[in-house]
Amino acid sequence: MSTKGAGRSLVRATLAIHEPPVGTSRTPGGIIKTFSFDFNPAQLSIARRAQWKASAAPVERDGALPEFLGTQPRELGLEVFLDTSDEPTSNSVLKKVESLLACCEVTDKSIAAKQPSPPWVVFEWGSFKTARFTAYVSSVDASYTLFGTSGVPIRATCRLQLHEIPGKTPGQNPTSGALTAQSVHRVVAGDSLQSLAWREYGDSSAWRAIAEANGIDDPTRLTAGTELVLPAAEEVRP
């Protein structure tokens, strides 16, 4: 039975590796690399915790009412399997592991901007929105399990731990809590209307609203440095 059709329709997971933003922005900077998974993760773990504080109470009481302190950012754990055993002279496994390890290293551009920081990342897997959020990589554990004749690894498993970088509440002014009418974004290398729509509204299909607001006829051509008006969230969402 042919599997060509299924192969073409399979959605691959990706990890977009971005420069950290400059200033106080919570929008990832320019794209450094898009890490495409050769094999989709067999398992993902997502954790989120609510923080409560319980005070001590006199022994004759059942206990004090706990105080809710807030919700902690999400955490995502996943494994990345890399294998080029059919190409024993390839060094692509080595290069890919190095690109993941670099997610825990400070970027040159952030040093030049005097805001040293490792990259920010966005994991994406089709329509799985629960696992899609801006994050930093807190740990990368790589295990090399097969080597070519020259000693270069040709098979590896990498375990990644991602921690969410919280964004602003959609449509809210952080100082007054009021709905904002619009915001402006300056285009950087690697930006697309789809990625901007996801970052701003959590829905990449909302790119059409950005295109209409800025009179963009060709959404595939964005010039770095161009300022785009981003409509208010309530104007975009149904």
Sign of CA dihedral 109, 118, 140, 72: negative
CB 154 within 8 A of CB 72: no
% of the chain residues with pLDDT over 90: 42
Which tens digit of pLDDT belongs to each residue from 170-179? 444 444 333 3
More confident residue, 231 or 6: 231
User: Residues, the chain, total?
Assistant: 238
pTM: 0.66
Residue ranges, comma separated, of all CATH 3.10.350.10 domains in the chain are: 170-238
CATH class of 12-52+66-167: mainly beta
Mean pLDDT of 43-57: 86
Which tens digit of pLDDT belongs to each residue from 13-35? 999 999 998 888 888 888 899 99
Amino acid at 200: E
* 170-238 fold: Membrane-bound Lytic Murein Transglycosylase D; Chain A (3.10.350)
Residue 179 is predicted with a pLDDT of 36
Residue ranges, comma separated, of all CATH 2.40.30 domains in the chain are: 12-52+66-167
Mean pLDDT of 206-223: 82
Mean pLDDT of 62-66: 73
* Cα 193 to the center of its chain, rounded Å: 16
